[in-house]
Amino acid sequence: MEAKAVLSQRGAQAQKASLYENVRWQYNKAADLMELDKEIRKILAMTENEIIVHFPVKMDDGHIEMFAGYRVQHNSIFGPYKGGLRYHPSVDIDEIRALATWMTWKGAITDIPFGGAKGGIQFDPSQHSHNEVERITRRFTFALGNNIGPEYDIPAPDVNTNAQIMAWLLDTYLSTMPPHERQRCTHVVTGKPIESGGSLGRDKATGQGIVFTIEEWAKDNNFDLSKATYTVQGFGNVGSWASRLLMSHGAKLVAVEDITGAIANRNGIDSNDLARYVAKTGGVAGYQGDNPISHETFMKLKADIFIPAAMENQITTDTAPWLNVKVVAEGANGPTNPDGDAILKDRGIDVIPDILCNSGGVIVSYFEWLQNKRSEFWELEEVDSKLRKKITRAYEKVRDAAKEYNADWRTAAYIVALTRLEKVYKERGIFP
C-alpha cells in the first residue's frame, strides 16, 4: 500500500496509536499479503498470558511505595517464553503486549526454540538508589514466582536493566527454589554477568547483530562501509555497541542523541571514548565540546546510516520526511510507526526492520541458555561466528521473501515469521 493511502486511511489519529496497535497493523498487513490461514490468524493476534502484579517495596527512608510490574507471554509454540525486562515510566500493558509479540516474531525468524514474552516495571530507576533498585527487582521477581522459570519463561535485559539486575533476579529466583533444584536453574535468566553464568558476547550481542545485518545490506548494495557516515539515537547497551563495532569498519559516527541531548561532529566522534564518557557522566551531553544540536537538527542530519537504538515511535509522519540517510537499521524495538514506514518507502530509504536487525540479543541469549543447560562455556569466537551464521541466514530469508512477495522488508520479515508459525500450528493442530 502506498504512503498516501496509508496516511489517509489511518489519518492524524494514527500519531496517537498505541504501540500494540502498530504491531497489529504490521501483522494484518503481512497476514493479508501471505494469506495466513484464517484460524491461525486468530490465535497469533492475541497474547497467551498477561500477568500484572502490584507489590510493596520499602524505600531507604523506611516508607513503602507500591509498584506495578508486568509480564506478558505472547506465544510458546516453539519453546519457553523469552524476552527482556524494561524499567521505565512508560511501561504499561499496551507497551509490554507489543514488545512480547515482537519477541515471538524474532524467535520465529531466527529459528530459535523460544516463544515471545516481555516484562517490566513502571518506574524511573534514575530516581531511586542502587539499594532501592535492588529491592524493587527482588520483590518483583518474588511476585512473579512460578510465572517465570528456566524451561518456562526466561527474562533478559532491556531498557534501564543490565547484567547486575539479571544477577539479582537470578539470586532471588534460586533462593526461592528447594536447595537440590537450585543448580539446574541458572538459565532462568540470560544477560547475566559472566561470573554468574553469563555468556561471552551477550553484552554486545544486539549491537553485533545490527552490524552483521548492516554488513549484509552493504554487500547487497555495493556500499563501502569504510567510507560510511552514521548517526545513532540512544547510546546505552544497543546504541553504544553498534556504534563501536561499526567504527571498527572505518565508518564515521557524525551525531549521537540520548536522553541528555544530541551532539554532532562532521569529523567523527570516537565511539569508544564517548562510551567511557557516558559511563562516567550518564549521557552524551557535554562530550568534548562537540557541537550540541537540537532533536530536529539531529533527525535531519545527512548520513548514510541511521541507527535508532532508544525508544519506540521515533520515526513518524513528523520525522520521517526529515531523514537524510540511505538506510535505517532498527536497533530499538518499534522505532518506526506504520506512517513513518510508508513515508520511508516512498522516499526510497531502506529499512532493516527491528525484528531482524536487533535479534542478535535473543540469539545470544539462546546460546547462554544452552551453555547453562549443558554446563559449557563457549569462547567468544564461537559465540560470534554462530551469531553471524544465524542472523545472516535470517537476513537472507527476509530478503528472499521481500522479492517473492514484492513487499517492504518489515512485511517480509513478518511473512518469514508467520510462515514458520503457520507450519508448526498446522503440524500440531489445536487441542483437543
Query: What residue type is assigned to position 272 of the chain?
Result: N
Query: What residue type is assigned to position 274 of the chain?
Result: L
22, 160, 186, 316: residue in contact with ligand NAD (rule CB under 6 A) = 160
Report in angstroms how near the CB of residue 160 gets to ligand NAD at its nearest.
5
Report in angstroms how near the CB of residue 88 gets to ligand NAD at its nearest.
8
Query: What residue type is assigned to position 167 of the chain?
Result: A
3-state class (DSSP) for residue 390: helix
Scanning the structure block, which residue is given the C-alpha cell 556504534? 243
| Beta strands at 81-87 and 116-121: parallel, antiparallel or unpaired | parallel
Report in angstroms how near the CB of residue 271 gets to ligand NAD at its nearest.
13
Report in angstroms how near the CB of residue 159 gets to ligand NAD at its nearest.
4
**C-alpha cell read off for 222:** 555495493
114, 140, 230, 235: residue in contact with ligand NAD (rule CB under 6 A) = 235
Report in angstroms how near the CB of residue 158 gets to ligand NAD at its nearest.
5
What character string, x for contact with ligand NAD (CB under 6 A) and - otherwise, covers 48-87? Answer: ----------------------------------------
Residue 259 touches ligand NAD, criterion: CB under 6 A: yes
Report in angstroms how near the CB of residue 64 gets to ligand NAD at its nearest.
27
Residue 201 touches ligand NAD, criterion: CB under 6 A: no
83, 119, 150, 234: residue in contact with ligand NAD (rule CB under 6 A) = 234
Nearest residue (CB) to ligand NAD, 126 versus 248: 126
User: Which of the ranges 122-130, 224-232, 236-244, 286-294 carries the binding residues for ligand NAD, by CB under 6 A?
Assistant: 236-244
With a CB cutoff of 8 Å and minimum separation 6, the contacts of 56 are 64, 65, 66, 67, 139
List phi, psi (to 5°) of 154: -120, 105
Which strands sit side by side in the sheet containing 252-258, from one edge to the other?
291-293, 261-264, 252-258, 229-233, 305-308, 327-329, 350-352
The residue with its CB nearest to ligand NAD is: 236
Task: Look at residues 402, 423, 404, 422 and name the one whose alpha carbon lies nearest to residue 412.
Answer: 402
Number of other residues whose CB lies within 10 A of the CB of residue 281: 12
Hey, which residues between 268 and 297 contact ligand NAD (CB under 6 A)? 283
Catalytic residue selected from 118, 252, 390, 397? 118
Buried b vs exposed e over 387-402: b needs ≥16 C-beta within 10 Å?
bbebbeebbebbbebb
Torsion of CA 123, 126, 130, 131, to 10 degrees: -40
List phi, psi (to 5°) of 342: -65, -40
Residue 206 touches ligand NAD, criterion: CB under 6 A: yes
Nearest residue (CB) to ligand NAD, 59 versus 311: 311
User: Which of the ranges 15-23, 306-314, 378-386, 411-419 carries the binding residues for ligand NAD, by CB under 6 A?
Assistant: 306-314
Q: From CA 92, how far away is CA 45, in angstroms rounded?
A: 19
Helices (H), 262-327: 271-281, 295-300
HSE, CB side, 13 Å, CA atoms: give it for residue 287.
31
Nearest residue (CB) to ligand NAD, 119 versus 338: 119
Residue 107 touches ligand NAD, criterion: CB under 6 A: no
Residue 236 touches ligand NAD, criterion: CB under 6 A: yes
55: which strand partners? 67
> How many residues form the binding site for ligand NAD (CB under 6 A)?
24
Q: From CA 122, how far away is CA 291, in angstroms rounded?
A: 34
Report in angstroms how near the CB of residue 30 gets to ligand NAD at its nearest.
20
Q: From CA 237, how far away is CA 193, in angstroms rounded?
A: 14
Nearest residue (CB) to ligand NAD, 177 versus 370: 370
Report in angstroms how near the CB of residue 258 gets to ligand NAD at its nearest.
3
Report in angstroms how near the CB of residue 32 gets to ligand NAD at its nearest.
27
**C-alpha cell read off for 246:** 561499526
Hey, which residues between 309 and 338 contact ligand NAD (CB under 6 A)? 309-311, 331-333
Nearest residue (CB) to ligand NAD, 290 versus 422: 290
Q: From CA 323, how far away is CA 314, in angstroms rounded?
A: 11
Helices (H), 221-333: 237-247, 271-281, 295-300
33, 53, 98, 238: residue in contact with ligand NAD (rule CB under 6 A) = 238
Please, are residues 200 and 378 in contact by the beta-carbon 8 Å criterion? Answer: yes
Q: Is 204 a catalytic residue?
A: no
Nearest residue (CB) to ligand NAD, 3 versus 238: 238
Q: From CA 124, how far away is CA 141, in angstroms rounded?
A: 18
47, 137, 199, 358: residue in contact with ligand NAD (rule CB under 6 A) = 358
Nearest residue (CB) to ligand NAD, 96 versus 349: 96
Which residues participate in catalysis according to the annotation? Answer: 118
Question: Interface residues with ligand NAD (CB under 6 A)?
Answer: 157-160, 206, 233-239, 257-259, 283, 309-311, 331-333, 358, 361
